Amino acid sequence: MGAIVSKYIFITGGVVSSLGKGLTAASIGQLLRSRGLNIRMQKLDPYINVDPGTMNPFQHGEVFVTDDGAETDLDLGHYERFTMRKMSQESNYTTGRIYSDVIERERRGEFLGGTVQVVPHITNAIKAAFTSLEEPGVDVIMVELGGTVGDIEGLPYIEAFRQFSLERCRDDVMFIHLTLIPFLRASGEIKTKPTQHSVQKLREYGIQPDMLVCRTEVEVGREQCKKIALFCNVHTDEVIIEKDVDNSIYEVPLMLEKEGVANKICQFFKFNTAEPDLTEWKAMVETVINPEKTVEVAVVGKYTSLTDSYKSVYEALAHGGIANKADVKFRKVEAEDIENNGAAELLHGVSGVLIPGGFGRRGTEGKMAAIKWARENNIPFLGLCYGLQCAVIEYARNVCGEPEAISAEWFDEEGEGDLAKAFVALMDSQQKVTAKGGTMRLGAYACDLLEGSKARECYGRESVNERHRHRYEVNPEKVEILKKNGLCISGVNPDRNLVEIIELPDHPFFIATQAHPEFKSRPIKAHPLFKAFITASIKKSEE
């Protein structure tokens, strides 16, 4: 569209957390893009951590990594999967990052000795964060605020939104508030009062929502919408009911399209857009709802009790299923349970095994037992990041005759251990093995694929770029031992000559990558490795 000044949509949440603001924002973004609008998306997280990179997956879920190496909130994964647009360092800000930047500026004397305060210094920094996405040709900037209205840590962000709506033309700024309409099963009633109080709190802060998106598990009638509109000071047509979907999160955009959300946004901003082309998306959803086959794969990890810990992995597996017109069932297996009960018992009947990324030694023996079981029983296997490292050590121990093979990550707290036994180790800037001080590889790195390899067949290309998040590497000094005993190094980083992909040529499907390919998989364009893994798993299930 080439708007001279970008329009802004600020998305807030009320009543309870985990309502699905990220999914709703991503769905709206997808609908706007389908109308030809150029959008940018950003997540503002009120927690004080500078980024989620050091946060426990049980508390925060997965860390989503962008091409430029940002460790971000998992909602950015929804943004990318739904809008097919890459996020960046500027797509996620936290309170920790905002305050760190302001404090650094104060230390440099940029405020000329003035008193640094939340208003205006912090609020100005917040506004600078979301206006950094503004550039020629960007039609809409969507900004999602984490947490719930009323949380003390979210107040500076709400204040920044309020100020910004006064500084810009009011018609250039839209507020969408996501709330919950609870259903009381005992009385068979829905309750609108929580939504009323949530909007009341937002209005106390100086923000009047332009649209309400009401999450509910039951149908909400016209009369209830009128009541919500009356008490929340919005038009009835601006009360959008977002009922829980039956089959897949990928139904949400179609539901919101039926509710006319994108049309109302375009009317608000006076956009004259083309009719949306949702043909491909509808076909994908139809495949999800009516698959032709079913396959079960095991995900063996340390955080399987919380789905969000491996959110992108599960989504990428589902995408692989979509590409094969199949429904992928997940058997979530705790690695430590395999250590106690054995792989044969807990993995019996699955048609594929995936080992996701992770850090630390806990559960490693269980992961390696699962890999050994898959390798010896010709079960398709896909290893991601730490999954590759576990596969290398398992192979060294059980095939290469190196029973004491380890990773340097397992050394004691002082970093002391026998480097001679480390098949996975830290590397210094000269690509030499070192006892400490390795550099974290974050973001996209190149990988050259070996001609004739299964990896190259999967990708259909000579070289690729994949996202990374790890510090330890396959020890270059051990590569010849692995190759001599039949392990194929099918992917190598051309800049540092580091192992990127391994595979077993004589196995139906045994591939592991040092990267996190799950971050680049999309529902209408499955990642090649996940697509091939599910293809192999389906073939195994049909034997």
Residue-by-residue DSSP string for 399-458: TSS-TT-EEGGGS-TT--S-GGGEEEEEE-TTS-EESS-PPPEEEEEEEEEPTT-HHHHH
Phi and psi, residue 104, nearest 5°: -60, -40
Q: Which residues pair with 407 in a beta bridge?
A: 424
Residues ≥6 apart with Cβ < 8 Å to 193: none
Other beta carbons less than 10 A from residue 516's beta carbon? 23
Per the omega criterion (within 30 degrees of 0), is the bond before 120 cis?
Answer: yes
- Give 245: exposed, middle or buried? Use CB within 10 Å, 0-12, 13-18, 19+: middle
CA distance 343 to 371: 9
Q: What is the pLDDT along the chain (543 residues), one digit of tens a residue?
A: 444 589 999 999 998 887 889 999 999 999 999 999 999 999 999 999 988 887 877 677 899 999 999 999 999 999 999 999 999 999 999 999 999 999 999 999 999 989 999 999 999 999 999 999 999 999 999 999 999 999 999 999 999 999 999 999 888 999 999 999 998 888 888 889 999 999 999 999 999 999 999 999 888 888 999 999 999 999 999 999 999 888 899 999 999 999 999 999 999 999 999 889 999 999 999 999 999 999 999 999 998 878 888 999 999 999 999 999 999 999 999 999 999 999 999 999 999 999 999 888 888 999 999 999 999 999 999 999 999 999 999 999 999 999 999 998 888 655 677 888 999 998 765 556 665 555 789 999 999 999 999 999 999 999 999 999 999 999 999 999 999 999 999 999 999 999 999 999 999 999 999 999 999 999 999 999 999 999 999 999 998
CA distance 486 to 422: 19
Q: Is 299 left (phi over 0), alpha (psi -120 to 50) or beta?
A: beta
Quick one: pLDDT at residue 432? 63
Quick one: pLDDT at residue 434? 62
User: Is the CB of residue 467 less than 8 Å from the CB of residue 515?
Assistant: yes
Q: What is the dihedral sign for C-alpha 483, 486, 487, 488? A: positive
CA distances from 478 to 320, 395, 421, 440 (A): 33, 12, 9, 21
CA distance 299 to 323: 19
For 300, the enclosing helix (H) or strand (E) is strand 293-301
Residue 426 corresponds to which tokens in the numbers above?
């830290």
CA distance 268 to 271: 8
CA distance 423 to 407: 6
Domain ranges across the chain: 7-283, 291-541
For 299, the enclosing helix (H) or strand (E) is strand 293-301
DSSP track, 259-287: TTHHHHHHHHHT---PPP--HHHHHHHHH
Its pTM surpasses 0.75: yes
CATH number of 291-541: 3.40.50.880
Number of H helices, E strands in the chain: 19, 24
CATH number of 7-283: 3.40.50.300
Q: What is the dihedral sign for C-alpha 154, 225, 220, 276? A: negative
What 3-state DSSP class applies to 16? coil
CA distance 86 to 57: 23
User: Is the CB of residue 527 less than 8 Å from the CB of residue 520?
Assistant: yes
User: Is the CB of residue 330 less than 8 Å from the CB of residue 299?
Assistant: yes
Task: Name the DSSP class of 114.
Answer: P
Phi and psi, residue 419, nearest 5°: -65, -25
Quick one: pLDDT at residue 307? 80
Other beta carbons less than 10 A from residue 370's beta carbon? 30
Quick one: pLDDT at residue 4? 55
Which sequence positions are flagged as catalytic? 385, 516, 518
Task: Name the DSSP class of 63.
Answer: P
Residues ≥6 apart with Cβ < 8 Å to 507: 375, 378, 381
Quick one: pLDDT at residue 431? 59
CA distance 380 to 20: 34
Quick one: pLDDT at residue 359? 84
Q: Which residues pair with 503 in a beta bridge?
A: 488, 511
CA distances from 444 to 51, 86, 402 (A): 18, 12, 32
